[in-house]
Amino acid sequence: VVIPSEIRVDGHVYPVTSIEYRAFYGCYDMTNIEIPSSVTSIGDSAFRDCGGLTSINVSRDNSIYSSEDGILYDKNKTTLVLVPVGKKGSVVLLSGVTCIGDNACSGCRNLTSIEIPKSVTNIGNGAFRGCESLTSITIPNSITTIGDYAFSGCESLIIQCNPGSYAEKY
């Protein structure tokens, strides 16, 4: 799917600036999406239950969002916004990421491992909710906050904590 930067309606041109809440909900056959520079807002659950989605690509000119290896980040690549639900296997986050956003990996049923860099300090609410195939994860010492239900439904998960880490305390 390629989102246009503008649309024409009755002779008027309108910029496409947002992808609204659940805009692509349940689009199981969508495998990738191209987001133009004009999009400055992506609503919660915009790509929820898009089981075939493996790649999100953002225009380099976008002032709010960026992508790397098909994964959605904020422009500065310090916040993980979304791992596409259809990603399989292992994911390695960029070394400068400091925050894993709310629901960033939620529903990634075929994600088996994720490498969290030592730069991360915050894991958001529901960040890994429903990652049924996630088998292990190492929580680095840098983590200061783990949100509610961050690992809910991760039935196969074994969490390893570095000595002295936030997660080890709880």
Model confidence, pTM: 0.91
Per-residue tokens: 70: 């098909």
- pLDDT-based confidence at 164, cuts 50/70/90? low
Res. 155: pLDDT tops 70: yes
pLDDT digits (tens, 9 = 90+) for 41-96: 999 899 999 999 999 999 999 999 999 999 999 999 999 999 999 999 999 999 99
Res. 162: pLDDT tops 70: no
pLDDT digits (tens, 9 = 90+) for 1-14: 999 999 999 999 99
